[in-house]
Amino acid sequence: MTPITTQTLENALTAKLMVSFGKTAAEATDGEMMRASALVLRDMMALREVETRQKARQQHARQVHYLSLEFLMGRSLMKNAYNLGLLPQLREALEHLGFKAADIFEIEPDAALGNGGLGRLAACYLDSMTTLEIPATGYSICYELGIFKQKIVEGQQVELPDNWKDLGAAWLMPKPAETQEVRFGGTVREFWDNGHLHIVNEDATVVQAVPCDMEIAGYGTEHVNVLRLWDARSTQPVDMSLFSRGEYLKAAEDEAMAETIAKVLYPEDNHLEGKSLRLKQQYFFVSATLQSIAAKHTELYGTMKNFHEKNVIQINDTHPALVIPELMRILIDDAGMDWDEAWDITTRSVAYTNHTVLSEALERWPQSLVEFLLPRVWQIILEISRRWQKKVEDFYHDPKKTEKMAIVWGGQVRMANLCIAGGMAVNGVSGLHSEILKKDVFRDAYGMEPWKFRNVTNGIDHRRWLSEINPGLDGLIRDLTGGDDYLLHPQALKKLDDYADDASVLERLGAIKRANKAAFAAHAKKTRGVELNPDAIFDVQVKRLHEYKRQLLNVLHIIALYQKLQDDPNAITQPHTFLFGAKAAPGYAVAKRIIRLINSLADQIDHDPICRDKLQVVFLENYRVSLAEQLMPASEVSQQISTAGKEASGTGNMKFMMNGALTVGTLDGANVEMHDLLGDENMFLFGLRADEVEQLKREGYVPQRLYNRDPVLHRCLDALRTGFRDGVRYDDLYQRLLFGAGGSPADEYFLLADFQAYCQAEKRMAETYRDQTAWNRMSLHNIARSGVFAADRAVAEYADNIWHVPHK
């Protein structure tokens, strides 16, 4: 490859502006320049992708297929330029052409095709799979609207549509020639022909699935993979001639259905809505994906008999669980195999990652809906269920276990059990989570087939989440570790530990953080008009809003601080700024109330002169990947305070750690592993352990006792009832904590039980902060030991232990 210079890029951009938009650089808008930049990089990646694909074909390499209803990609321009080794050249070329590079990066919309952790994980893994040169493809839906944009109006969340494609579609390459047809409804008919039994789905509604590919460049490699996003189209536009034949309405209906399938991402995280459109989305993308994989496989090998040798399908939670019956359908109905052979291949091809233990998030579908929408798939599910149930009965002879492990039971289809039965591996996403799966959630399945159960602790793309977004820290790491080795070998970060007593290094680390805080404050001022004090502790909780994540516990502590300040205006000497960012699922009323509460409290504190330069609360509107990229480098305290046992892993915790923030957290999810690496002395641990939470639940938890016993807590909770200067009262939240409501028990997530310990942890944290040298040392240790949380490590584990594919 000839090296690409600033000049070549400049020429390419000028040419692209000309042919795509009919404009010169002088005439082009920032948006057009962003799209031209995307197209230029896309061209380069497309060439490499063809070469990558040809190589894999020649080598008959085993392919990884990563199926996820969500890929929370965020922005791609800076990322792709970075991975292609062109970031400095692109910056320069843009400036030469009269643009501000920062403005061009900033105008790119996030491709927000995901809710939170699960979707972002998939995006990070695409980067690592490519960097590790694994032949891999991601598959999802090309949603027209990503996760909603959040506005805060009078303290409350308002949802606006996220039309990302206007500018974002520049990354997509439609491949209409590879269109697949997906069938819904109709009836199943069997007939014999020439001694062969044929099974066909008649009168089905056919939806076309058109692939739109997004190229994924790896770092330090020519390898390029693809994220294949399926767009939905109707087979034919409504044809007026059907009118006379009375088929007009059916055709119009088919068209309407096709057009809704890829319309919008469901905004619920860790909760399931049993809507038929959601099931259609799942089957649509699963069926299109498997048909396209099967077609390519058959073209290359002329048979499906070796499918499992050449393909592995990883499913991101149960949302793509229909791959199991759909692969069976293809093997039996299309490839003509018998059941046992098809089952053997299927159960050697599919692996399932679980991301939650919350029972309201374990996916179940009404059998009537599956039967109506997917009649053939339903027949197959029933047969899988029948055989599985027999296996369980023969193994345990225990009707209770039969019921628990059943796939079809009580009129419902249980997707997790289907995945366990039809998969070769089941993994949790942190050590603790995987243990809970084995001991509790999937205990009986583990007892029967223990070899299927694994752990792969999550990881994040450290090139994006450290090197790319935090150039100051990247520079320090390069200086201390002797170069950019850590980009491909994240464990090289360990070398930073050697500088724990180097005063100049600690000082430089502090200065980098301080500069990042100032930059974030300037950004917040410019984009939202909020005034942040860069001398305050930046204490941050950003993640989806959910009761189990306990943003409300954070709020209760702030109320306690505020009340303390009322009693004694000198109680706080160190300025403290609490930053929140969180989207609530639109239908999750309690979560929305908590957002409003944060805003009421922020307003109260803002208007109280006692709090000036001491205490501040800021709710950051529309938290998303691109905002996280600004915020992580500026954060000093990372709030990871979920009820122990509930957060499967967390990945935000890793982003903070890598950027040198110190964690205030419970022993939950990957915090446990962070603690193993850091010890008590390098994080602020507090609260009940997972087993203690369970024990307390068994013994009978009465939060009112704590309320009556602890005057600080008592006063705090009372403040919810009294309300704030905006006139809003939160008696509903008070009631929920003390008495329970709507079927949920009092203080379901043990906030009150952990309140005192949490306040003490925050106090220890604030005291430590006074000694900046000690703080910076802890921060250094955090960065030094964050290497294991690189996605490269996690993906290498999947490759070695589950996929059995070679990697770099």
Report the catalytic residues: 355, 543-544, 549, 651, 655
Q: Check binding of 458 to ligand F55 (CB under 6 A).
A: yes
> Between residues 216 and 429, which has the closer beta carbon with respect to ligand F55?
429
Residue reference for tokens 């609207």: 145
Please give the size of the binding site for ligand F55, defined by CB under 6 A: 20
Point out which residues pair with 139 in neighbouring strands.
67, 228
Q: Check binding of 320 to ligand F55 (CB under 6 A).
A: no
> Between residues 85 and 274, which has the closer beta carbon with respect to ligand F55?
274
Query: Of residues 149, 228, 280, 355, which one binds ligand F55 by CB under 6 A?
Result: 355
Query: Of residues 74, 109, 146, 669, which one binds ligand F55 by CB under 6 A?
Result: 669
Point out which residues pair with 414 in neighbouring strands.
364
List, as one string, the DSSP characters of 151-185. Answer: EEETTEEEEE---THHHHGGGEEE-GGG-EEEEES
Point out which residues pair with 315 in neighbouring strands.
67, 352
The pair of structure tokens assigned to 431 is 């050590």
Residues 478-537 interacting with ligand F55 (rule: CB under 6 A)? none
Closest CA to 537 of 758, 772, 760, 756: 772
- Of 149-157, 254-262, 444-452, 648-656, the segment contacting ligand F55 by CB under 6 A is 648-656
State in angstroms the smallest separation of the CB of 29 from ligand F55.
35
Site string for ligand F55, 257-286 (x = CB under 6 A): -----------xxx-x--------------
Q: How far apart are CA 40 and CA 13, in angstroms?
A: 7
> Between residues 74 and 650, which has the closer beta carbon with respect to ligand F55?
650
At 312 the three-state DSSP class reads strand
State in angstroms the smallest separation of the CB of 363 from ligand F55.
7
State in angstroms the smallest separation of the CB of 393 from ligand F55.
31
Residue reference for tokens 């502590």: 557
Q: Check binding of 668 to ligand F55 (CB under 6 A).
A: no
State in angstroms the smallest separation of the CB of 214 from ligand F55.
20
- Of 87-95, 202-210, 563-571, 647-655, the segment contacting ligand F55 by CB under 6 A is 647-655
State in angstroms the smallest separation of the CB of 269 from ligand F55.
3
- Of 15-23, 94-102, 115-123, 497-505, the segment contacting ligand F55 by CB under 6 A is 115-123
Residues of the chain by 3-state class (helix, strand, coil), percent to 5: 55, 15, 30
Site string for ligand F55, 51-70 (x = CB under 6 A): --------------------
> Between residues 75 and 646, which has the closer beta carbon with respect to ligand F55?
646
> Between residues 472 and 586, which has the closer beta carbon with respect to ligand F55?
586
State in angstroms the smallest separation of the CB of 784 from ligand F55.
22
C-alpha distances (whole Å) from 55 to each of 133, 296, 306, 535, 630 are 11, 15, 20, 54, 38
Contact status, residue 424 vs residue 347, Cβ threshold 8 Å: yes
- E strands, 613-666, are 615-619, 637-640, 662-665
Closest CA to 487 of 471, 466, 508: 466
Query: Of residues 109, 117, 375, 687, which one binds ligand F55 by CB under 6 A?
Result: 117
> Between residues 557 and 583, which has the closer beta carbon with respect to ligand F55?
583
C-alpha distances (whole Å) from 139 to each of 179, 213, 289, 423, 806 are 14, 9, 7, 18, 21
Query: Of residues 64, 73, 101, 118, which one binds ligand F55 by CB under 6 A?
Result: 118
Query: Of residues 356, 417, 434, 470, which one binds ligand F55 by CB under 6 A?
Result: 356
> Between residues 360 and 501, which has the closer beta carbon with respect to ligand F55?
360
Q: How far apart are CA 354 and CA 348, in angstroms?
A: 18
> Between residues 118 and 509, which has the closer beta carbon with respect to ligand F55?
118
H or E segment to which residue 734 belongs: helix 731-738
State in angstroms the smallest separation of the CB of 651 from ligand F55.
5
Contact status, residue 561 vs residue 613, Cβ threshold 8 Å: no
Contact status, residue 616 vs residue 579, Cβ threshold 8 Å: no
The residue nearest ligand F55 at its CB is 117
Query: Of residues 650, 687, 703, 787, which one binds ligand F55 by CB under 6 A?
Result: 650
Residue reference for tokens 């809507």: 275
Contact status, residue 37 vs residue 167, Cβ threshold 8 Å: no
Contact status, residue 540 vs residue 661, Cβ threshold 8 Å: yes
State in angstroms the smallest separation of the CB of 547 from ligand F55.
13
State in angstroms the smallest separation of the CB of 649 from ligand F55.
4
Q: Check binding of 314 to ligand F55 (CB under 6 A).
A: no
Residue reference for tokens 């008592």: 714
H or E segment to which residue 756 belongs: helix 751-770
Residues 78-97 interacting with ligand F55 (rule: CB under 6 A)? none
Q: How far apart are CA 729 and CA 591, in angstroms?
A: 15
Q: Check binding of 116 to ligand F55 (CB under 6 A).
A: yes
Q: Check binding of 361 to ligand F55 (CB under 6 A).
A: yes
Query: Of residues 68, 291, 649, 776, which one binds ligand F55 by CB under 6 A?
Result: 649
At 402 the three-state DSSP class reads helix
Q: Check binding of 647 to ligand F55 (CB under 6 A).
A: yes
State in angstroms the smallest separation of the CB of 358 from ligand F55.
8
State in angstroms the smallest separation of the CB of 268 from ligand F55.
6
Query: Of residues 265, 648, 678, 693, which one binds ligand F55 by CB under 6 A?
Result: 648
State in angstroms the smallest separation of the CB of 424 from ligand F55.
20
Contact status, residue 552 vs residue 598, Cβ threshold 8 Å: no
Read off the DSSP letter of residue 238: P
Residues 716-775 interacting with ligand F55 (rule: CB under 6 A)? none
Q: How far apart are CA 323 and CA 331, in angstroms?
A: 12
* Parallel/antiparallel/unpaired status of strands 576-581 and 412-414: unpaired
How many other CB atoms are found less than 10 A from the CB of residue 479? 11
State in angstroms the smallest separation of the CB of 420 from ligand F55.
18
Residues 584-643 interacting with ligand F55 (rule: CB under 6 A)? none
> Between residues 361 and 506, which has the closer beta carbon with respect to ligand F55?
361
Q: How far apart are CA 363 and CA 585, in angstroms?
A: 17
Q: How far apart are CA 716 and CA 597, in angstroms?
A: 13
Task: Please compute, for residue 675, the number of CA atoms within 13 A of its CA located in the half-sphere on the CB side.
Answer: 18
* Parallel/antiparallel/unpaired status of strands 71-74 and 111-113: antiparallel
C-alpha distances (whole Å) from 603 to each of 150, 533, 611, 615 are 19, 16, 11, 12
Query: Of residues 651, 671, 682, 786, which one binds ligand F55 by CB under 6 A?
Result: 651
Q: Check binding of 547 to ligand F55 (CB under 6 A).
A: no
Residues 401-440 interacting with ligand F55 (rule: CB under 6 A)? 429
Backbone angles phi, psi at 412, to 5 degrees: -125, 155
How many other CB atoms are found less than 10 A from the CB of residue 721? 13
Query: Which residues make up the interface to ligand F55 (CB under 6 A)?
Result: 115-118, 121, 268-270, 272, 355-356, 361, 429, 458, 647-651, 669
